[in-house]
Structure 1
């Protein structure tokens, strides 16, 4: 929990830094743009003398989406931090974690011609707290903060039509996977070691558009093939998010997240999230 609070403070501090930077001058520099969106997703169900049965549940997620982007002349530098944490309480089962994610994305581009840029990307993915397999008794720990943590970076070419539509191709991507001693031997890290290295092909894309009035669809795709180990096994990370706006403060959020990674699991990972969102934009 202490490490979770540390990461949360880090995310919030970046948000505060962004606001402070904007307030230093009455007219903020046009080359930097900062934004922070905080969303609370709430789900709740209560049963009393309900003959069909059911368990009382309450669940909540907090999502923090922060962007700080630089643009001047032929240079573009986009930075995004995605933080998500969720808990649920179910009668007789207690409190359980439902979502946990920390991700930092950086994409630097120098314009070449038309919509093409020379690029360099950096990605860091991990989680805030310990994860368990709740299907086993007693519950078995399967992950922890920085176990695993993935650090990827590499040069490439970026096709960017707008902030809402781009594809980055990085054919020489370095990826490091980190784990603690407890999880050594998992996530593609050899037994007795705390890290592994791979070199491969990375493709990432982002596409956001309006499906209908007040309904936005967001697609985020990341593909990775390791040249050094089974390049035919392509890692897939695909997210689809729907935002149905009610007003400036309320929205209905629906998200699907699919991960295919043989080093993490032999099965396809799938997550779906739906709830009423309370939005706060800075």
Structure 2
């Protein structure tokens, strides 16, 4: 009877140990499979790119409900070029877009989009999905940005407030890179330098208040920060022919107000119609208290013509 009781007590323990052993074997097999796949990727350069043109038009003729004729177009480039040499990888991505809106009753063409961003990360594989890494990121815009108001007579006027490299941002620093697949990866960089560049003509105007133009002091053209940077990328299919791409960047400045975390989040939803046509939605949200005390948001949606190369 004692042997039966002992056997009954030991049976669940034995089952638990076998389950733990099976789980460890599964984890090891998964890691080995991931390493095998990674090892089979050939050394050398690999590149892929896509050019997209989004357009939107509205036309009214004797339309009693009212309306204003308008046309907008947006040209975008997404280019990836990667290099692999054994345990070393070098991943690069260039994102560029520019868009204009022309309405019937406006004297000015207005921008709907203006972005130039270059991401680069050098990594050396360690174990499993982890890499030692060094990240560099550069962001700016192509042309002047304006604030639009009206004069005393109600006419539309504009005042320039941004330009190419004003602002411009450069981030770089070492860290650890976790990459499960090309569609899911995270980089953590605890010692990231961030340099903000501006044209000092904006900071040299009479009565300028230190830090009021993207955090840069009077008569200066640069702001240096040191802090923690985290970037994440996740792409998945919502349904057949509909994909969602998420890019998130977080930055905390150790030197001033580290609790104020800069946020830059981008969502790209692509609804593929065929090889050439797609409906594209781009949403971006930015929080940077050096630039603006609140969230900046941008949304661009339209039918796109795509060319891949």
The answer to whether TM tops 0.5 is: yes
| Partners of 1:76 and 1:277 in 2: CA distance | 32
**In the alignment, does 2:290 pair up with 1:263?**
yes
Secondary structure of 1:228's match? coil
| 1:108 aligned partner | 122
Q: Give the number of equivalent residue pairs.
A: 254
Contact 2:188 2:230 in 1 (8 A): yes
Unaligned regions of 5+ residues in structure 2, if any? 1-41, 152-156, 204-210
User: 2:61 maps to which residue?
Assistant: 48
- 1:220 maps to 247
1:243 aligned onto 2:257: no
Normalised by the size of structure 1, how large is the TM-score? 0.88
1:125 equivalent in alignment to 2:139: yes
Residue 175 in structure 1 maps to residue 194 in structure 2 = yes
Report the equivalent of 1:152.
Answer: 171
Deviations 1:186-221 (A, max 9, x none): 101111100010000000010001110000000000
Looking at structure 2, the residues matched to 233 and 172 of structure 1 have their Cα atoms a distance apart, in angstroms, of: 17
| 1:206 pairs with 2:249 | no
Q: How does 1:54-93 map to 2 (within 5 A)?
A: 54-93=67-106
Structure 1 residues 142 and 136, CA gap change in structure 2 (3 angstroms): farther
Distance of 2:72 and 2:200 partners within structure 1: 32
1:24 is matched with none
Task: State the match for 1:188 in structure 2.
Answer: 215
The alignment partner of 2:217 has SS state of coil
Distance of 2:65 and 2:294 partners within structure 1 = 33
Structure 1 gap ranges (5+): 1-28
Larger Rg: 2
Deviation at 1:136, TM superposition (A): 5.2
